[in-house]
Every structure is written in structure tokens, then in C-alpha cells.
Amino acid sequence: MGAKVWLATRAVCRYDTIVNMDTLNRRAFLAALGCGAPLAAAQGEDAVTVATDHPRLFLRPARLRLLRRERERASPRWQQFEALVAGAAPLPERPFALALYYQISGDKEAGRQALGSLADPAADPRQFALLFDWCQDLLSETETRDMAARLEKSMAATAGDDAVAAVRSRIMAAVALFDHVPAAPQRELERTVRAWWPARFVAGLTGAGGGATRDEAYPLFELLHAVRDNTMLDLRESSPRFLKDLPIQHLLSYYPAAYRAPENDFYIGATRLPGPPDLRRAALSRAAELAMVAYDTNALESQLLQGWLMHDDFMLRGPFGAPYEFLWANPYQPGLSYDHAPLVYHDPATGRLFARSNWDDSARWFGYFEGAAQIFDSGRVTTLNPRQAVPALSLGSAAICFGSGSPKFRIALEREQPVFLVGLEPRRAYQVEVDGQEMFETTADTGGILELSLPKMRETGIRVRPAPRPPATGG
């Protein structure tokens, strides 16, 4: 059997339509924003509106029913969450946790404590939006007007921040405020859906290091849920395949060995940051995956991810992670064994490559991302310079050759597997000679990776050299 390779730009699916915006269209969007005209009118599209009742954010009727049944059944996730709240544990995101507890239990005292635990919305506009939405029926008219004004002010204060987390928080505020404040929420929804999403996020998915980072994955899926659940717009339909393949990339970009923490085990995502693992980042990485499954339960990628997520040793039990675990997990959702997931992920658009020898915790692993190459073996991470000559690495699922300074390679494959050359010049054309084949020309991807197909069961020589650059044309 050949190695299974997940190549992010080759397969065709319903999310492969890419929004193309030329410079003129972008200027039209920005002009519409600047003069306050509705973006939908500029494009002849329906306005982006919210017509749902509170609670709107993440706790739509189906999920609310599921979570309340979890309480009735005294599920392990509910028991853990309830024990933390009842035991007055130091909850790092106390407003979020108490407001969620109020929505599920009906405990008005918990709701009142949630409302009183975040005095300054500028400190965390995301949690403030959740409080306004989830505790709406506890507010008097005066409190509603006051909170709405403060939340609108927090939206205005971050209007120039185009980071995923900031846009997420403004969208959550816009959804929560939609029928409480006249114009600002719809302007924010129009600006995000019609301008920021295609011109900033989608356009930024192609290029080395493009796409949402692991730290951006959770706020990204909060944004996607908030928009789709309340406007019926699925932003993935105007994005490349990146978002559909993100569950597979997440799985393959974990180091294989589990990290044992006091509350629960974690898998740690590939990182260039020094020092011990950041367990809050690890918890949000798992929360992102739970939110991915909740977003599209029928996708093959989600079912493979669900099989990965439903191992009890990794259930988030700590004061930070337990509210996320309870909010997003669905233990009744069927999943597929992740043993069926591909062992190699290569995305030419962003120049990322991840591969592992198998799905055991003892697997050997290779990652090439953000211009760095790492090998995980026997519990240790080794960082390599991919532009220097390093012996070829064979994982069984893939073989990796290193070094633009070593144009000649010899490699013997015992089985059919892709061969990747890393550390080349991004987007540079190369001439490739393989023993027994005619020379051909191909182009390295945005990360400087070439993928080759070689004969198995014999040693093969490879020669790679930059193709001559075309002569410059006169002006």
C-alpha cells in the first residue's frame, strides 16, 4: 500500500471556490466603508443581518439542548465543570465559565456573579459579549442599555485591529448587539464578511506561513460559528481548501508523544518557541478541534478528528480548559479511528509539510513550517537548518532530503512513498534529473519544497539545480 498523502490543493470539494478581488473591487469596498454606505448595496448583495434570539453565541437551540441533557445525565464533563464552579475554583475566565454555567443550570446567582466579574469590557470584549448575550434575561432595561453602550465602545476601540482574535471579538459583539444598537453591528458584520474575510484572510492563505496559526484556530472557529449560526452564511464557501483540511493539519502537526500534566494529558503542537509546553495554548488547540467538529459533523476530516478527541485521558479537566471541553464536546457524535488518517500533509500554498511514521505515541515525526525543519524522535525535538546538507530521513510514509547546498542525492525506497526536497528557494524553478528518466523542470512551493515520485526497491540518484532565470525584458 502506498503512503496516504493529504495534499491540500489537489482534491476538489465544495469549499474550493476562491473569492478573487481585484484592486478596483477592494477600493470600492474600502470606499463604501469610509463613507458609511452599506457594503451589500455596493455589491448588490443582501445585507448581512441577525434574526436569532438570545442566546445567539454558540448556544443555539440544538447545542443548548445537548448540554442541558449532559447535566441531566450527570456526564463526566458536566460533573467536572460543576465541581469547579461549586468548589469556587480560581477560574481564569470566570465570566465565560459562570455565564455558561448559568445557561445550563439556570442558577441565577451564578449569572449575577458572572455579570459582576468583568467590570471593564475593554479588558476582554469577547467575554463581555458572551455576558451580554448569555445573561440577557437577567438584565434590566437600564443595565441592557449601559452594557450595550460599553460593548459598542469596545468595538470602536479595536476597529483598526485586523488580527483574527480582534475581528472575532468584534463579530461576537456585533451579533450580541444586533437589535440593541442601530447601525454599528451591521457595519461590522458587512465589513468582516464582505471585505476583511476575502481581502485579508482568504488572500493571506496563499504564501509561506499563510493561513491561521495554531493560536488563531480557536478564535477563527468562534468567528465562523458566530457568523453562520446567526446569518446563515458559511464563510468557508469563499475560502480555499485550507479550512476544510485544517483538522488534518492539526492532527499531523502534533508531536507524537503525549505530555502528562496534573489534570490531564495533552498533545503539544509543533512550535519554535523555547521552553516547556504552554498548557493554556495546548488547551485552546484542543478546544479549536472540538469547535471544528461541531462546525461540520459530517465531513470526513471531522469524523477522523472526532476519533482522536474522544480519548478520556485528554479530556480538559483544569479550571481553564473544562468550560471549553463542556461547551464544545459531543461524546455522542460518531467518529472514525484516526489510524485511517493520512500520515503526510503537504500544503504547497503555505509551504507546510508534516509527516509521521505511524499513529503510535512512539512514532518518528518530521515538520517543516515557518522556514524551520524539526524532527521528533525518542521523546526529543531536534531543529535543523533545512538549507544545510543533512542525511535523508525516511519515515516509511515519506522520505525527506535536505539542503539546497547539496544538489546530488541518492536514496533507496523500500516501499512506495513520496519524496520531499526541502530548503530550496521558494517559488524557484528547478531542473531535476532522476536516474533512468529525462530531465524535467518543476517549481518549488511557497516554502521551498519539491515533491518527487521515485521508483521503489532500488537506489536512485537525484540531481537538482536551479533552472536558468528567464532574461529580463526591456521596458
Q: What is the CATH number of the domain that holds 299?
A: 1.50.10.100
> Are 388 and 422 a contacting pair, CB within 8 Å?
no
Instruction: Provide the β-strand partners of residue 382.
Output: 375
Q: Is residue 437 situated within a structural domain?
A: no
Q: Is residue 352 situated within a structural domain?
A: no
Instruction: Provide the β-strand partners of residue 368.
Output: 353, 373
| Per-residue pLDDT at 172 exceeds 70 | yes
| Per-residue pLDDT at 142 exceeds 60 | yes
Given its phi and psi angles, is residue 210 left (phi above 0), alpha (psi -120 to 50 degrees) or beta?
A: beta
Q: What percent of the chain has pLDDT over 70?
A: 87
pLDDT of residue 20: 35
| Per-residue pLDDT at 140 exceeds 80 | yes
What grid cell was written down for 459? 537506489
What grid cell was written down for 402? 535536505
Residue holding cell 503555505? 350
- Dist CA 426 CA 445 (whole Å): 6
> Are 294 and 64 a contacting pair, CB within 8 Å?
no
Beta pairing class for 372-377 and 365-369: antiparallel
> Are 170 and 188 a contacting pair, CB within 8 Å?
yes
- If one counts the domains in the chain, the total is 1
- Of the two residues 456 and 177, the one the predictor is more confident about is 177
Mean pLDDT over residues 331-337, rounded? 92
What string of H, E and C letters represents the secondary structure of 95-159? HHHHHHHHHHHCCHHHHHHHHHCCCCHHHCHHHHHHHHHHCHHHCCHHHHHHHHHHHHHHHHHCC
Express each pLDDT in 257-290 by its tens digit.
999 999 999 999 999 888 899 999 999 999 999 9
Report DSSP state, residue 254: B
pLDDT of residue 381: 94
Q: Is residue 475 situated within a structural domain?
A: no
Mean pLDDT over residues 438-465, rounded? 86
Closest CA to 268 of 214, 342, 329, 336: 214
What is the chain's Cα-based Rg? 25
- Dist CA 10 CA 441 (whole Å): 20
- Of the two residues 281 and 465, the one the predictor is more confident about is 281
| Per-residue pLDDT at 341 exceeds 90 | yes
> Are 172 and 151 a contacting pair, CB within 8 Å?
no
pLDDT of residue 372: 85
- Dist CA 436 CA 440 (whole Å): 12
Q: Which of 107-116, 130-139, 183-192, 382-391 shows the lowest per-residue confidence on average (mean pLDDT)?
A: 382-391
- Of the two residues 51 and 21, the one the predictor is more confident about is 51
- Of the two residues 415 and 292, the one the predictor is more confident about is 292
- Dist CA 93 CA 97 (whole Å): 6
Q: Is residue 332 situated within a structural domain?
A: yes
Which helix H or strand E contains 433, and what residues bound it?
strand 429-434
> Are 324 and 349 a contacting pair, CB within 8 Å?
no
Confidence of residue 438 (pLDDT cuts 50, 70, 90): confident
Give me the chain's average pLDDT, please: 86
Mean pLDDT over residues 118-126, rounded? 82
What grid cell was written down for 185? 453591528
Confidence of residue 122 (pLDDT cuts 50, 70, 90): confident
pLDDT of residue 35: 36
Mean pLDDT over residues 253-260, rounded? 96
What string of H, E and C letters represents the secondary structure of 320-343? CCHHHHHHHCCCCCCCCCHHHCCC
What grid cell was written down for 314? 485528554
Please name the residues in contact with 306: beta carbons below 8 A apart, sequence gap of 6 or more: 293, 297, 333, 334, 335, 336
pLDDT of residue 203: 81
Q: Is residue 299 situated within a structural domain?
A: yes
| Per-residue pLDDT at 384 exceeds 50 | yes
Residues in the chain: 475
Confidence of residue 404 (pLDDT cuts 50, 70, 90): low
> Are 307 and 336 a contacting pair, CB within 8 Å?
yes
Which helix H or strand E contains 441, and what residues bound it?
strand 440-443
Q: Is residue 221 situated within a structural domain?
A: yes
> Are 449 and 400 a contacting pair, CB within 8 Å?
no
| Per-residue pLDDT at 212 exceeds 90 | no
Question: CB neighbours (10 Å) of residue 83?
Answer: 12
- Dist CA 228 CA 164 (whole Å): 16
Phi, psi of 375 (to 5 degrees): -120, 135
Question: CB neighbours (10 Å) of residue 124?
Answer: 17
| Per-residue pLDDT at 308 exceeds 50 | yes
Q: Which residues of 385-422 are buried (b: 16+ CB within 10 A; e: fewer)?
A: ebbeebebbbbbbbbbbbbbeeeebebebeeebbbbbb
Closest CA to 93 of 57, 73, 118: 118
Mean pLDDT over residues 83-99, rounded? 96
pLDDT of residue 199: 87
Q: Is residue 380 situated within a structural domain?
A: no
> Are 422 and 405 a contacting pair, CB within 8 Å?
no
Q: What is the domain range of residue 266?
A: 5-339
Q: Is residue 452 situated within a structural domain?
A: no
Express each pLDDT in 214-245 by its tens digit.
899 999 999 999 999 999 999 988 776 778 88
| Per-residue pLDDT at 294 exceeds 70 | yes
